[in-house]
Structure 1
């Protein structure tokens, strides 16, 4: 699936928002205001892989931009069809 850069950035923001709730409810910790975006992305990606909610990237592809893309795709699939982030 090809996402537009602006759309992917907005989806990533939503993924981190929803992901923070998931991390907390899952009992895997919680995001702190002082946590960097990189730390949040890595933690959420690793937890979703561990819980088998997304497929892992191979080691050579496990870069932050690819993790961001995976998280954007994950949240995109969770949103209802009429959600504003699913429209162009």
Structure 2
């Protein structure tokens, strides 16, 4: 797995977009005290269940891989001239 340029910022954006998507799908908002790890896993599982991203093999589902998958997902949704892609 190759580290993306601006991966940390892409992950922050993915969490924000993913939270909005989850709320629009009818899920309750995340509590302010929810850890980022919990948010990442929840959003990942929701996107997989909805067929928006391909699931990782079960033996490869670690925290780093889930964060990377979400960063790639949001990166593919951004316009080509977005600042995080430069």
Q: Normalized against structure 2, the TM-score is what?
A: 0.93
RMSD over aligned Cα atoms: 1.2
Aligned partners of 1:63, 1:36: CA distance in 2, in Å? 16
Structure 2 partner of 1:25: 24
Structure 1 partner of 2:9: 10
Structure 2 partner of 1:37: 36
Using CA pairs below 8 Å that are at least 6 residues apart, which structure has the higher relative contact order? 2
Q: Normalized against structure 1, the TM-score is what?
A: 0.91
TM-fit CA distance, 1:10: 0.5
TM-fit CA distance, 1:32: 1.5
Aligned partners of 1:86, 1:32: CA distance in 2, in Å? 30
Aligned length: 85
> Deviations along 1:13-60, whole A, 9 cap, x unmatched?
000011110010011222221100010000000000000000000111
Q: Does 1:82 align with 2:84?
A: no
Please list every run of 5 or more consecutive structure 1 residues that lacks an aligned counterpart in the other structure.
Answer: none
Please list every run of 5 or more consecutive structure 2 residues that lacks an aligned counterpart in the other structure.
Answer: none
